[in-house]
Amino acid sequence: MTGFDEARLSRIKGWMQGYVDTRRFAGCASLITQNGVEAFYHDCGLRDVENAVPWSRDTLARIYSMTKPVTSVAMMMLVERGLVHLDAPVSDFIPEFSDMHCLREGARDLSQTEPCATPTLHQLLTHTSGVSYGFNPGIVPQAMAEQKLDFWPGSKTLAEVATAIADLPLVFRPGTRWEYSVGIDLIGRVIEVISGKTLEAFFIDEIFDPLGMNETRFTIPKGTEQRFASMYTPLAGNSFDLNAVEKSTESLNLADSLENTPFKSTKMNSGGGGLLSTIDDYRRFVEMLRSGGQCLISPHTLRFMMRNHLAGDIADMGPSSFAEQPMQGMGFGIGGAVVLDPARARVPGSVGDFSWGGMASTFFWIDPVHQLSAIFFTQLSPSSSYPSRSEMKALVQGALT
């Protein structure tokens, strides 16, 4: 029996419907599990507004950065096998990173650099490496955006973009700051080098097949095309252009659909943001994390991953980048954020909550105190558009008995 007040839990339905009725989300789904038992599921709205197709439980969605915990688990599986250690420099696997430079303090162009250390795998996993994202502010992110080096789906391979990233300077000396980045994409390439497999092949063999995640892939799985959700944005322009945010008068502008999506034939295995999944497929992964690894990975390794790997909280490390979580009262582990102090994070929850989200406003968290996992799926970019994550956490926390 689950420890929820059913009347309070049912408030989530009205909250979700409110987002749909006000055209903030086209459609959405919530799934909550406690002690391995499903406690709540609800969906509402549409996965395809133009064709009036309802959101359903088997809707296939872009999970974007919720790919990062999968890649992080894959990396730690290799660490468990003694094939690599976290303090190894990334240049051991991607030689182009051997001679690194970072921007000087106050640099105004990419030539104003100084020599620095090569990032380690641990720094890539924890976003302290000095690499960045094209949607962050600054001259390096601007260069990334211009050169299309954010590992987006398309004709480029993981190896090609990883090599190109090495030509740019780091934003800061590794280990000195926190900035949300493509570091875990680079980790995906390291996994390929160590394993001798494509990242997707490694995922299928080592994680997806054992867990029964048959519809989680980098391209739309055959037979699921009609279940693929369209993605929307409230912005007037590019749904990922966080440096030039201009709201549209229309709150649900079509940003990607089955007709034109690059996910039909992409060559990119983006370990930082490329996976598609269903809510039940992703539950299998999240429940593996919550329940202790299910023989895929040691529970001791999972506990290590879900600890804070920073010296303090994220806010202590001077971030200026986009982030999909609060920064005060939040630490960062390997593959996700960790609640250090719910009061400082200003969101009800438990110390040790482990979570992450995706750019299309998807989200999950694991509460180790109440042994629950919660997943929210929708398809609206950017994820910073509305406070849906903190609202859902408050609703679930308020329903616990």
Q: Which residue has the higher pLDDT, 318 or 400?
A: 400
337-348 pLDDT, tens digit per residue, is: 999 999 999 999
The residue behind tokens 């539950």 is 283
Residue 324 has pLDDT above 90, yes or no: no
What pLDDT, in 10s, does the model give residues 81-127?
A: 999 999 999 999 999 999 999 999 999 999 999 999 999 999 999 99
Is residue 60 exposed (0-12), middle (13-18) or buried (19+ Cβ within 10 Å)? buried
DSSP-assigned states of every residue in 299-344: HHHHHHHTS--SSS-GGGG---S--SS--TTEEE-SSSEEES-HHH
Q: Tell whether the torsion through CA atoms of 392, 334, 79 and 185 is positive or negative.
A: positive
- 6-62+215-399: CATH number: 3.40.710.10
Mean model confidence pLDDT for the chain: 95
User: How would you classify the pairing of strands 101-103 and 231-233?
Assistant: unpaired
Cα separation, 97 vs 94, whole angstroms: 6
Q: What is the pLDDT of residues 147-181, one digit of tens each?
A: 999 999 999 999 999 999 999 999 999 999 999 99
Supply the pLDDT for residue 2: 61
**Domain boundaries for CATH 3.40.710.10 within the chain:** 6-62+215-399, 75-195
Kindly report, residue by residue over 127-136, the tens digit of the pLDDT.
999 999 999 9
Residue 323 carries which side chain, given as an amino acid letter?
Answer: A
Q: Minimal CA–CA distance to 190: which of 275, 296, 74, 81?
A: 74
Q: How confident is the model at residue 1 (pLDDT cuts 50, 70, 90)?
A: very low
* Residue 299 Ramachandran class (φ > 0 left, ψ -120 to 50 alpha, else beta): alpha
Confidence check: pLDDT of 244 > 60: no
The more confident residue out of 288 and 241 is 288
The SS3 call for residue 332 is: strand
Q: CATH 2.60.120.260: does it fit domain 75-195?
A: no
Residue percentage of the chain with pLDDT more than 90: 92
Q: On the CB side of 261, how many CA atoms lie within 13 Å of its CA?
A: 21
